[in-house]
Amino acid sequence: MDRGPQFWHGSDHEFNEGDTVEPGKEQGLAFASTNQDYAGVYGKGLYEVEPIGDDLWSIYPDSENPVHASPNGFRVIKRHR
């Protein structure tokens, strides 16, 4: 079964598998990228994540560093570093 694109989230916050990357209070959105290297510049930790729900917006979809935003957050699948 195809899970769709792989999403990555970089953060200094320590997440565990199954945790939720919560939307921020200011913007009401959580962010991830399909570019692993780009996501990795946002913190010491790099996480493989999946969107929660179908509400997902592409920001800069034609960029080599596409960003995706979700008002529901992202679920942590695995830590990569």
**pLDDT tens profile 14-37:** 999 999 999 999 999 999 999 999
**How many domains, in total, are found in the chain?**
1
Here the tokens at position 66 are 């596409």
Give Cα separations from 18 to 9, 43, 72, 76, 78 (angstroms): 14, 19, 14, 5, 8
- Asked whether the beta carbons of 49 and 9 are under 8 A apart, the reply is yes
Residue 32, in any domain of the structure: yes
Is 12 domain-assigned? yes
Give residue 19's pLDDT.
98
Residue 69 lies inside a defined structural domain of this protein: yes
Domain that includes residue 34, residue range: 7-79
Q: What backbone phi and psi angles, to 5 degrees, belong to 39? A: -60, -35
Q: How does the average pLDDT of the chain come out, rounded?
A: 93
Cα→Cα distances 12→4, 21, 70, Å: 26, 12, 19
Global pTM value: 0.90
- pLDDT grade, residue 2 (50/70/90)? low
CATH of the domain at 33: 3.20.170.40
pLDDT score of 76:
98
